Structure 1
Amino acid sequence: MRGGRLAAGTGGLALTSVLVFAPAVAAAPVAPADRPLAAPTPSKKPERRTPPPPKPECNKPAGQPASAITVEPWAQRRLDFEQAWPITRGKGVTVAVVDSGIDTGHPQLRNKVAASFDATKTTADDCIGHGTQVAGIIAASDMRAENIPFVGVAPQVRLLNAKWSSGQSTNDNTMLPKAITWAADQGAKVINVSADAPDTPALRLAVRKAQRKDALIVASAGNVAQDQRGKESASYPASYKGVLSVAAVDEAGTIANFSNLKTRVDVSAPGQNVISTLGDGYVGGLQGTSFGAPYASGVAALVRARHPKLTYQQVIDRILITAEGGNGQGSGHGMISPLQAVSALVDPAAKPGAAGTRPMGGAVPIAKPEPVDHRTRGMGLAIAGGALGTAVLVAFGGAVIPLGRSRGWRPGRATVPAEDRD
């Protein structure tokens, strides 16, 4: 804590010599008079300054060891984003995590954060774990060779750590806009905002500024406690135009019962019984639209890496057009489809319909599971938050292609860029 410095008590005094002259007729020398003593300048009274409040302690949460993960997380198997990795893993794209910070010491997040910003003026560290969980879903390195089944959607992206929340209650609505603006100024092409905030002029302006810099903002649709059902209001920035709004679904593809039905929804993604990074370990049983948003951010990063000339709105359109499932109520245009979003040949004139934006509850149609690939899928989970149980696998082929063609796209074969070949 910085203490106030007291001002010096004395100022500089100009001392004047006094000369005494004898009359001209006097021959005897006259002794010079003594110099007068300067009166001491009164000391200034100490200024009373209110000391700044002490910074909250940063007790980083500790996760469970990697050995606690014994099966590949259901969300990874459901989305099967590894199918897109021969095309791209997100290299060259910068993704900002606007959240509670990122624990850069996690083995799967080391050397990924290019820059950090702390709007809270506390510490850029993640003292509550939420931002680290979000970052892990987006970008955790592939360490399956070391028997760690969990991996992020786009493991080669570059991260920006834009901290706006310390977990402390505050009425300061300026920190979130500041973090978004900083992320856009740093060149983020995707900005993940897993937050439920009110509509404010500062937030609207920050979103518009970011969009003018061609940043794609992905936001969670928001959560509602059951005792508040019917009293909820729209969540921001998810409800702003041009923001990719994401709802949460469970293993069965059903919209989570905590999803905010007043928020406009574009797509859905896994948001129940989710596994991610925490501290230097892992956590399971995560629930919330906060965890659906980073899956969509990872997909957006893959699309931007593969199609760098697309504007942020064109990337959103591609994600909506290729989303799997019908225009399910509450699920927007359906579940995100990483491979198709990256590789499908989309008609440039195709536009997503408006019917999928209705903020209502419902289920997402899910295809029947495919057989498990036992080379990588023979791992189970028993981790903090409870076991995940049976994972759901989904076929992308027959269930998706007919719908996709009706929306203006068809599957494509893309060559693997040399820079992304392993």
Structure 2
Amino acid sequence: MRLTRRAALAATTALTAALLAPAAAATPASAPGGSTATVLNGSGECDYPAKPIKGTPWALQRVLLDQLWQDTKGRDADGRPVRVAVIDTGVDVKNPQLTGAVDVKSGTDLLSGPKDPARGPTVDLVGHGTKVAGIIAARPSPASGFVGIAPESVIIPIRQNDEKGTGTTRTLAVGIKQAVDAGARVINISQDTTMPLNPDSDLELAVGYALDHDVVVVASAGNDGADGLPKPTYPAAYKGVLAVGASDRNNERAPFSQSGDFIGVAAPGVDMVSTVPGGGQCVDRGTSFAAPYVAGVAALIRAKHPDWKQHQVVAQIEQTAERVTNGRDRHVGWGVVDPARALTEDDHPVDHVTTPQGPAHAVAAPQPVALPFGESERERQVRLATYALGGTAALVAMITGSAVVVRDRNRRRLP
């Protein structure tokens, strides 16, 4: 089946306007049974299947893969792959890079019913879940420079949302529990709701169930951040969840990435290459694709240090991130994830982040105001510096010219 660009656009429109433009409001709708609809945090126009993208994506170029994988690519010392649940729109296994990466038998389809015939966890009509899974565990391909962060981990596919935006916080909660029971060591959730939930809601209890069973829960922060104002999203804002914002090529907050005190780290979320249904890769953007980048790092840590607790895995990722300040920043949390540092500066587990004295080792912090599309903060600084340099040059030229005029006039006055 080939899903054309127009068909994909129509399908994602049914999910939410936020899928089409990350700056758009992502207001969830009420769902039957008092539950709340969840929003997928990606944009997503693409033709399925797609042609392979031959080059190495920038998000992988920033990582020394040989250093990252010197101890593991997602298997523990006994050769067992770390199991990562992707609770999403399904994970296609026809794509060759995912054929051997998905545990189909452990997967489940939570949307099957009288009006929605069983499709199975490997049917992905949107492509969203397939992209998420690829960033985590896509196998190497001779046709492309793209590969997953943890290419020997295994995906547990849980189909909880679809092209109609059927997923709710209730089905998401069920998906989390099923992921835990299926043996997931890491759970990736690339969707959210901004609607406040009652204390001890199904979703909060499910997250607690996962944490109590020593599972790392990684969730996208959301794409409604163009105004730069903090806004909690769920499940990302629940205590114990590693909330991931999106960063750009300059290690700064992507303009659409949601801000808030709950942000743990940021990760690449613009121009993200990943697998699509049927084969090949496409490019997308959104916090949906930043979260699995971090989930892949968590899988590598769990493979290398199977005895580390889930909160220690989270603390390790936050501790080794490229920081913009020595404290926590509401735009990028503790900084932009550094996969190689997370896997090499790991002599002992840490229970929480410690802040060193002295200057931070990364770029200047993003401004709290919304960043304009098409121009990052660094580009703005370069532009202003260019204006200043040009103005200085013009002033020097004017002063020099005036001096020459005065000199020539004085010469003419000589007897």
Q: Which residue of 2 aligns with 1:109?
A: 98
Q: Which residue of 2 aligns with 1:336?
A: 337
Larger radius of gyration: 1
Q: How does 1:9-408 map to 2 (within 5 A)?
A: 62-66=48-52, 69-91=53-75, 92-114=81-103, 115-121=106-112, 122=116, 123=119, 124=121, 125-143=123-141, 146-170=142-166, 172-197=168-193, 198=195, 199=197, 201-224=201-224, 226=226, 233-262=231-260, 264-327=262-325, 329=329, 330-348=331-349, 351-353=352-354, 365-366=362-363
Cα distance, 1:106–1:75 mapped onto 2, change above 3 Å = same
Kindly indicate whether the alpha-carbon contact (under 8 Å) linking 2:90 and 2:129 is maintained by their aligned counterparts in 1: yes
Letter of the aligned partner of 2:275 in structure 1? Answer: T
Q: Which runs of 5+ in 1 are unaligned?
A: 1-59, 356-362, 368-422
In 2, Cα distance between equivalents of 1:364 and 1:175:
42
In 1, Cα distance between equivalents of 2:240 and 2:206:
13
Between 79-88 and 241-250, report the one with greater CA deviation: 79-88
| Paired residues, number | 295
Q: Deviations over 1:242-273 (max 9, x none)?
A: 11111101111120111112361111110001
SS across alignment from 1:72: coil
- Provide the aligned C-alpha RMSD in A: 2.5
Q: Deviations over 1:121-153 (max 9, x none)?
A: 14221110000000000000012xx23111000
In 1, Cα distance between equivalents of 2:265 and 2:60:
17
- Deviant stretches of 4+, over 6 Å: none
In 1, Cα distance between equivalents of 2:101 and 2:310:
23
In 1, Cα distance between equivalents of 2:156 and 2:348:
33
Letter of the aligned partner of 1:74 in structure 2? Answer: W
Q: Deviations over 1:35-69 (max 9, x none)?
A: xxxxxxxxxxxxxxxxxxxxxxxxx9613211xx2
Instruction: Give the alignment's TM-score, normalised by structure 1.
Output: 0.65
Letter of the aligned partner of 2:98 in structure 1? Answer: L
In 1, Cα distance between equivalents of 2:165 and 2:138:
29
Q: Which runs of 5+ in 2 are unaligned?
A: 1-45, 76-80, 365-415
In 1, Cα distance between equivalents of 2:70 and 2:175:
33
In 1, Cα distance between equivalents of 2:300 and 2:351:
20
Structure ranking higher in helix proportion: 2
| Shift, 1:350, TM fit | 6.3
In 1, Cα distance between equivalents of 2:54 and 2:187:
31
Cα distance, 1:164–1:364 mapped onto 2, change above 3 Å = farther
Q: Deviations over 1:304-323 (max 9, x none)?
A: 00000001001111111111
Letter of the aligned partner of 2:190 in structure 1? Answer: S
Kindly indicate whether the alpha-carbon contact (under 8 Å) linking 1:194 and 1:290 is maintained by their aligned counterparts in 2: yes
Instruction: Give the alignment's TM-score, normalised by structure 2.
Output: 0.66
Letter of the aligned partner of 1:257 in structure 2? Answer: P
Kindly indicate whether the alpha-carbon contact (under 8 Å) linking 2:186 and 2:216 is maintained by their aligned counterparts in 1: yes
Q: Which residue of 1 aligns with 2:368?
A: none
SS across alignment from 1:192: strand
| Shift, 1:113, TM fit | 1.6
In 1, Cα distance between equivalents of 2:228 and 2:341:
35
In 1, Cα distance between equivalents of 2:257 and 2:247:
9
| Shift, 1:337, TM fit | 1.6
Identity score, percent: 38
